[in-house]
Amino acid sequence: MHSTASDGALSPQELVELASENGVKLLALTDHDTLSGLDEAAATARQCGIRFVPGVELTCRWNTRVIHLLGLGIDPAHEGWKGYIENLEGLRQARAEKIAKRLVAKKLPEDLLARAQALAGSGQIGRPHFARALIEAGIVSTESEAFDRYLGQGKPGDVKAEWPDMHEAIEQVKASGGFALLAHPTKYNLTFSRLRILVKELGNAGADGFEVAYPGVSQEQIRLLMRMADQHDMYVSAGSDFHTPANRWTHLGRFPQVDTPRQLARVLV
Ligand code: AMP
Ligand code: MN
């Protein structure tokens, strides 16, 4: 799940309280490229009697592709995180400035960066903040329209950044005692045979597994992913990838159910 520490709509406290209302018993906060929401979430989880798993979703690179690596059960106090996260903050800030420049050159409002920054607040800035700024400015009506027209692949706001290689991300997660898993494997526009190569390389690099249950994945995809987990002897995880109560398609704590001894949740409880 994501909070205002990155591109989510709810504060860590609000998020965990809503999770509690929804009957969630085990929860990981996995903000993009930041650990800043974890303390508040952990404290709220203690009050609500929810089992809390400190997490993060790291933006990284597999060759030229951008992928997301989940760290679950990490130690946020591990000394390696400070430099790792500072680097990502710098990359995101520099990328945000470039995105704004390119979009202003396309005749979008001059104050786009200021608007996106205001929406991000003290959280890690990302493209969803630009999407919301474009809605606020009356230029698009939904985030997905903002991605289709301005921010998605091949559009002017799709600015490349020198994200760390996935090996570095895996190494940092493992060094801090966490499990490293590829997030939402079917969302990178990869064929299943390419995905097999990625999973094999992840395994060789020390990753523990990948997500199999999340919004938008089909039953057929789940079946193929589960088979891949068997072949590579890896853990699988599930998540609602919750960002905002405004999105009708993702409900906090809801995802396709999978029942397998490979579930990482069984190890984390
Ligand atoms: P960033 O990490 O700043 O590049 O932003 C990536 C985030 O943008 C993802 O985690 C999604 O939440 C969101 N996103 C990516 N593509 C789309 C899309 N086509 N429509 C809506 N949201 C998207
Ligand atoms: Mn993601």
Q: Are 53 and 73 in contact (CB under 8 A)?
A: yes
- Kind and range of the H or E element at 29? strand 26-29
SS3 9: coil
DSSP symbol at 248: T
pTM over 0.85: yes
**Phi-psi label, residue 144: left if phi above 0, alpha if psi -120 to 50, beta otherwise:** alpha
pLDDT on residue 110: 97
Can you list the residues of the chain whose pLDDT is less than 70?
248-249
- Nearest by Cα to 5 from 176, 117, 178, 121: 121
Other C-beta atoms closer than 10 Å to the C-beta of 206 total 12
What is the residue with the minimal CA distance to atom 21 of ligand 1?
144
Residue 129 beta carbon below 6 angstroms from any ligand 1 atom: no
What is the residue with the minimal CA distance to atom 11 of ligand 1?
128
pLDDT on residue 249: 67
pLDDT on residue 248: 66
- Alpha-carbon distance 113 to 153, whole Å? 20
pLDDT on residue 246: 81
Q: Are 10 and 251 in contact (CB under 8 A)?
A: no
DSSP symbol at 185: G
Distance from residue 23's CA to the centre of ligand 2 (Å): 24
**Phi-psi label, residue 84: left if phi above 0, alpha if psi -120 to 50, beta otherwise:** alpha
For 253, residues 6+ apart whose C-beta sits below 8 A from its C-beta are 19, 22, 23, 24, 27, 240, 242
- Alpha-carbon distance 128 to 147, whole Å? 8
pLDDT on residue 14: 97
- Nearest by Cα to 108 from 73, 159, 157, 67: 157
pLDDT digits (tens, 9 = 90+) for 227-259: 999 999 999 999 999 999 887 667 898 999 999
CA-CA distances (angstroms) from residue 137 to 99, 105, 115, 146, 258? 16, 16, 9, 11, 41
First to last CA, the chain: 18
Residue 147 beta carbon below 6 angstroms from any ligand 1 atom: yes
Point out the ligand 1 atom lying closest to the alpha carbon of residue 59: 2
Residue 152 beta carbon below 6 angstroms from any ligand 1 atom: yes
Q: Which token pair is 3?
A: 């909070």
Distance from residue 57's CA to the centre of ligand 2 (Å): 7
Residue 32 beta carbon below 6 angstroms from any ligand 1 atom: yes
Ligand nearest to the CA of 66: 1
